[in-house]
Amino acid sequence: MEKKWFTISVYSENNVGLLNRISGIFLKRHINIESLNVSKSEIEHISKFTIVIKTTEDWTRKIVAQIEKQIEVIKAFYHTDEETIYQESALFKIASHLLFDEPQIQNIISESKSKIVTVSRDFFVLAKTGRRHEIDEMHDNLEAFGIMQFVRSGRIAVSKSEMPISSMINEFYQS
Amino acid sequence: MQTIKEKKPKKHNETSIRVSGAEAIIHCLLAEDVNLIYGYPGGAIMPVYDELYKFQDKLHHVLTRHEQGATHAAQGFARVTGKVGVAIATSGPGATNLVTGLADAQIDSTPMVCITGQVPRHLLGSDAFQETDIIGISTPVTKWNYQITRAAEIPEIMAKAFYIAKSGRPGPVLIDITKNAQFEEFDFSYSRCIGVRSYNPSPKPEIEKIKAAAELINNAKRPYIVFGHGVILGKAEKQLQTLVEKAGIPAAWTILGLSAMDTDHPLNVGMVGMHGNYGPNVLTNECDVLIAIGMRFDDRVTGNLETYAKQAKVIHFEIDPAEIDKNVKADVAILGNAQESLDLLLPLIKANKHDDWHNKFKKCYEEEYEAVIKNDLYPTKEGLTMGEVIKEINLASGNKAVIVSDVGQHQMIACRYAQFKQTKSNITSGGLGTMGFALPAAIGAKMGAMNREVVAIIGDGGFQMTIQELATIFQNKTPVKIVVLNNGHLGMVRQWQELFFESRYASTVMTNPDFVKIAEGYHIEAKKVEKREDLKATVQAMMASKEPFFLEVCVENEDNVFPMIPSGASVSDIRLK
């Protein structure tokens, strides 16, 4: 089976130790987590893990089943890139003098639709949100001038289809 | 803690009492109807042991001689009773010694709660004396685990631990309790847990799937059932038998399913898997509908998946959604408890017979009998076989004993030849293959079924892995029967070396001590049998004894277990020699 990018969304109770339990599922199967993001979800007190992996759909389905099996996981879903709206964020720290010495940088900033977050005497910080390839492109463009620091976040994603968590939780309280 | 939903607290428990965390743990155990636990004391769990001393008339603590023994004893107790087994240990090495038992209970779906002491909260993360991250260590081998650092957490977490351990697909839970939480006083009240928001232990079977399964079964020409532990855990033994008899379907078992159906039932065709029976393996690839009930298509059962039951429609009755399509793709998957699912299925099943198909199993059995079984049970050569020892135990016990086997050749022989008339009678380490399991597990099994004979069948290798539990047997006067089948080798590994490594016996030859003297050193009556003429009478004397009894039988040193599916081969390619 063909390897593809999959975004796994995990709705869980917010408990210490669950991240360890979930990452162990990937470790055991030698599957690299390409990106991981943990945040609150649309439901109060429920966390959402967004995990990106590149593997076959069969493995993804089995991994999602193992994740769902964990006691504190309410529900896990997986989606292909086409089935999600997804973004990543990146920060670039660049020496301030380059703004004046290298006018091309200003073009890169405006063309990449990134934002200047802060400017100081020594450096300024650019923030860029977008697809991975857009951030990579911006990185490539700036690299020639020197990047003091670079960091990119994990993918955050919402699915085009419904992830019916609220109804599942309501069902539990009604049963 | 919003995960726990407690609907109706028991009325008599509603009033709270002021107790220490340590005493609260005892009250939790009593509230869960636990009256027997296994363990080993140490610094970080001492407050709990102090309370155990005070409550010894209500809660019996069995001191094993190693924490691993405590877990296996708890497992043996759980497997024979269907209740949750409880083991307790201190922090650090006490806790890490539980890991093998946890892993064993996890892979064999055994309900167990392990309680460990931990260094005080303020020392966590400081590499304090006997501090170890047992939560991190035990995560992959537990169904759930939790570290309690405040006494007030104890009732809710303990209730949740028992609920999770025994519900759905059972498994081990570890609760780590810091020493300060054991000392702290708080207002204790207890309510059992009956639901966890994020956990659906037993999905409801879908009626449409049941109908689809019934249609496949009713139209099948060569239907075949393979049942596993899920039948025992789901208390579906009667339903299984009704299905088998009503639809006339030959049924075979995995080693954890053994004893769910009487071994002498005419439609019980035997054991599947690497050393299973000939017919159940080869005919897996001739059936037209394969009905898997409470089993998980372990690799030791299926052999090469590429050539496993490809011609058959597969119906999979299973409680754990993660097992569906994990190894074998199901045409119809029915999620749910086996009893509930079969209860829904049975009214839709038409009475049927499949005599021609069943005769194929009989023919295969005859072939296997000539090639293997006859020589195992009625050998004509001089050396004793493991099979004839099992046969004598069957005869002397009237097929009524609980058989606890260790891991290796003797385990396969015990599972192949032990006869059972009652469920929950075969206790073995199936998934993990833990050598050293049987002796402590037999202690737990006996304590869980005092009115039954419990016979541990152990090899000379595995016996020496937990041999110190002879002291537990002696101290508690636990009347288990211990049979060591001594072939002077790590027999199963030696067999593989003979077959696949050109007889290079790397570290499989054992120079053994005098086991009889060792047993006698623990004040256990002991006998050794070296000749066939002594076997029957000695086994009978052992079974007649009311005391613990040790029997060493010196068997042929280089016998092999057949049939055998070589690792990675197809079930069709099972070898008879």
Same domain assignment for residues A31 and A102: no
Give yes or no for residue B15 having a pLDDT over 90.
no
pLDDT at B7: 54
State the Cα–Cα distance between residues B285 and B270, nearest whole angstrom: 16
What lies within 8 Å, CB to CB, of B506 at 6+ separation is B497
Share of chain B above pLDDT 70, in %: 98
Give yes or no for residue A41 having a pLDDT over 70.
yes
What lies within 8 Å, CB to CB, of B501 at 6+ separation is none
Closest CA to B80 of B482, B444, B546: B444
Query: Are B38 and B88 in contact, with CB atoms under 8 Å apart?
Result: yes
pLDDT at A1: 81
CA geometry: angle at B116 spanning B114 and B122, to 5°?
Answer: 150
In the residue annotation, B510 being an active-site residue is answered as no
Q: Phi and psi at residue B423, in whole multiples of 5°?
A: -70, 170
Residue carrying the six token digits 């020197």:
A146
Same domain assignment for residues A75 and A44: yes
* A21 vs B: CB within 8 A: yes
For chain B, give the mean pLDDT: 96
Give yes or no for residue A175 having a pLDDT over 70.
no
Same domain assignment for residues A27 and A112: no
Give yes or no for residue A172 having a pLDDT over 90.
no
Q: Phi and psi at residue B42, in whole multiples of 5°?
A: 180, 175
Q: pLDDT digit string (tens) for B158-183?
A: 999 999 999 999 999 999 999 999 99
Would you give the DSSP letter of residue B297? -
Burial of A175 by CB count in 10 Å (0-12 exposed, 13-18 middle, 19+ buried)? exposed
In the residue annotation, B339 being an active-site residue is answered as no
Cβ of A45 and B2 within 8 Å?
A: yes
Is residue A175 domain-resident? no
Q: Which of B6, B46, B55, B130 is catalytic?
A: B130
pLDDT at B351: 98
Closest CA to B531 of B413, B405, B389: B389
Same domain assignment for residues A109 and A41: no
Q: Provide the 3-class DSSP secondary structure of residue B174.
A: strand
For residue A31, give the CATH number of its domain. 3.30.70.260
In the residue annotation, B129 being an active-site residue is answered as yes
| Confidence band, pLDDT 50/70/90 cuts, at residue B522 | very high
Q: Is the peptide bond before B170 cis (omega within 30 degrees of 0)?
A: no
pLDDT at A168: 79
Q: What is the pTM of this model?
A: 0.96
pLDDT at A14: 86
Give yes or no for residue B3 having a pLDDT over 60.
no
Same domain assignment for residues A96 and A114: yes
Domain count of the fold of chain A: 2
Other Cβ atoms less than 10 A from the Cβ of A79: the count is 20
pLDDT at B11: 53
Same domain assignment for residues A45 and A110: no
| Confidence band, pLDDT 50/70/90 cuts, at residue A166 | confident
Torsion angle, alpha carbons of B86, B89, B94, B99, to 10: 20
Q: Residue B38 has which token pair?
A: 């296994």
Share of chain B above pLDDT 90, in %: 97
Q: In Å, how far are B38, B269, B281 from B416, measured between CA atoms?
A: 31, 11, 13
Cβ of B198 and A24 within 8 Å?
A: no
Is residue A172 domain-resident? no
pLDDT at B1: 38
Residue carrying the six token digits 């690497």:
B274
Establish whether this prediction's ipTM goes over 0.90.
yes
Give yes or no for residue B14 having a pLDDT over 80.
no
State the Cα–Cα distance between residues B86 and B75, nearest whole angstrom: 8
Gap between the terminal Cα atoms of chain B: 58
Same domain assignment for residues A24 and A42: yes
Domains and CATH numbers, chain B: 11-188 (3.40.50.970), 207-361 (3.40.50.1220), 380-554 (3.40.50.970)
Q: Residue B401 has which token pair?
A: 């004993």
Query: Are B51 and B22 in contact, with CB atoms under 8 Å apart?
Result: yes
Q: Which residues of A touch B322 (CB under 8 A)?
A: 62, 65-66, 68-69
Q: pLDDT digit string (tens) for B226-246?
A: 999 999 999 999 999 999 999
Is residue A144 domain-resident? yes
Is residue A171 domain-resident? no
Closest CA to B184 of B25, B399, B56, B57: B25
Is residue A173 domain-resident? no
For residue A124, give the CATH number of its domain. 3.30.70.1150
Of B5, B139, B144, nearest to A20 by CB-CB distance is B139
Same domain assignment for residues A13 and A74: yes
Other Cβ atoms less than 10 A from the Cβ of A140: the count is 9
Is residue A36 domain-resident? yes
Q: Provide the 3-class DSSP secondary structure of residue B188.
A: strand
User: Residue A65 sits in which domain range?
Assistant: 4-85+157-165
Of A20, A61, A72, nearest to B198 by CB-CB distance is A72
Q: Which of B67, B156, B184, B392 is catalytic?
A: B67
Q: pLDDT digit string (tens) for A103-154?
A: 899 999 999 999 999 999 999 999 999 999 999 999 999 999 999 999 999 9
* A71 vs B: CB within 8 A: yes
Q: pLDDT digit string (tens) for B81-100?
A: 999 999 999 999 999 999 99
Q: In Å, how far are A139, B226, B360, B464, B570 from B355, measured between CA atoms?
A: 73, 18, 9, 48, 26
Residue in A closest to B164 by C-alpha = A71
Same domain assignment for residues A121 and A59: no
Higher pLDDT, A1 or A35: A35
Same domain assignment for residues A16 and A81: yes
pLDDT at B412: 98
Same domain assignment for residues A66 and A94: no
| Confidence band, pLDDT 50/70/90 cuts, at residue B360 | very high
Out of A4-8, A11-15, B7-11, B261-265, which region has the weakest mean confidence (pLDDT)? B7-11
Is residue A124 domain-resident? yes
Q: In Å, how far are B133, B173, B311 from B179, measured between CA atoms?
A: 15, 19, 59
State the Cα–Cα distance between residues B542 and B525, nearest whole angstrom: 9
Is residue A71 domain-resident? yes
Q: Please name the amino acid found at residue B350.
A: K
Same domain assignment for residues A131 and A47: no
Give yes or no for residue B426 having a pLDDT over 50.
yes
Other Cβ atoms less than 10 A from the Cβ of A80: the count is 12
Distance from CA of B322 to the nearest CA of A (A): 5
